[in-house]
Amino acid sequence: MKPTAFSYHRPSTLDDALSLLALHGFDAKLIAGGQSLAPMMNMRFAQPAHLVDLNALPQLKGVTLEPDTLAVGAMTRHHELATSNTVRADCPLLAEAAATIGHYAIRQRGTLGGSLAHADPAAQLPLIASTPGARFDAGP
Ligand SMILES: Cc1cc2nc3c(=O)[nH]c(=O)nc-3n(C[C@H](O)[C@H](O)[C@H](O)COP(=O)(O)OP(=O)(O)OC[C@H]3O[C@@H](n4cnc5c(N)ncnc54)[C@H](O)[C@@H]3O)c2cc1C
């Protein structure tokens, strides 16, 4: 099957992304790696009227080691979590878990934020994120 018709938005700033969400409300859905949402749209379990693509927002990507925190952006791909020396050194469980997700193509596209938001009970990253000490920053 193919998805129902939708409008596609690719904001280049976080402010624009947030404005689109505010404007379209529950008619809009964010898309990150598309590895869970696209199949759901193709099967028409999800039928958003507006798709807001997060892929042009570099500030949501990457891994940073702060004084007592490993900070991971929502748009960081599973592949980066699996191969980052910083993640391997600071939180090896996260790197090991990310390396076991799906196959190579899935890990190249899927993101931490998408996996956590999708919250499949069988998924690796929501389980890792529920370990003591993990914290979510939802604000820009
Ligand atoms: C063949 C296949 C095998 C897979 N195997 C595994 C596996 O073994 N283990 C596993 O854990 N997962 C697996 N997955 C799922 C994969 O990890 C997905 O990448 C992940 O679940 C969703 O991430 P995404 O970036 O693709 O999100 P998307 O599909 O783009 O989005 C998923 C949901 O999250 C929302 N969302 C995305 N980003 C954000 C954000 N920043 N803030 C708020 N909401 C957001 C979207 O609106 C949507 O509702 C598999 C997928 C496929 C297709």
- As a whole-number percent, the residues of the chain with pLDDT over 70 amount to 99
For the residues 16-45, what does the mean pLDDT come to? 98
Rounded-to-integer distance, Cα 111 and Cα 64, Å: 16
Domain boundaries for CATH 3.30.465.10 within the chain: 61-129
Contacts of 129 (CB under 8 A, 6+ apart): 116, 136
Rounded-to-integer distance, Cα 95 and Cα 138, Å: 22
Amino acid at 111: T
Q: Is the pLDDT of residue 140 over 70?
A: no
Token pair of 113 as six digits? 């934020």
Domain boundaries for CATH 3.30.43.10 within the chain: 7-53
According to DSSP H, which parts of the chain are helical? 14-24, 37-42, 78-83, 85-90, 92-99, 104-109, 112-118, 124-129
Cα(33) to centroid(ligand 1), Å: 6
Q: What is the pLDDT of residues 31-76, one digit of tens each?
A: 999 999 999 999 999 999 999 999 999 999 999 999 889 999 999 9
Residue 35 DSSP class: T
Cα(133) to centroid(ligand 1), Å: 23
Residue 33 DSSP class: S
CATH number (3.30.465.10, 3.40.50.720, 3.40.630.10, 3.40.50.150) of 61-129 reads: 3.30.465.10
Ligand 1: which residues within 6 Å by Cβ?
29-37, 39, 54, 74, 101-102, 106, 109-111, 113-115, 117-118, 120, 123-125
Token pair of 92 as six digits? 């090896």
- Looking at domain 7-53, its CATH class is alpha beta
Amino acid at 137: D
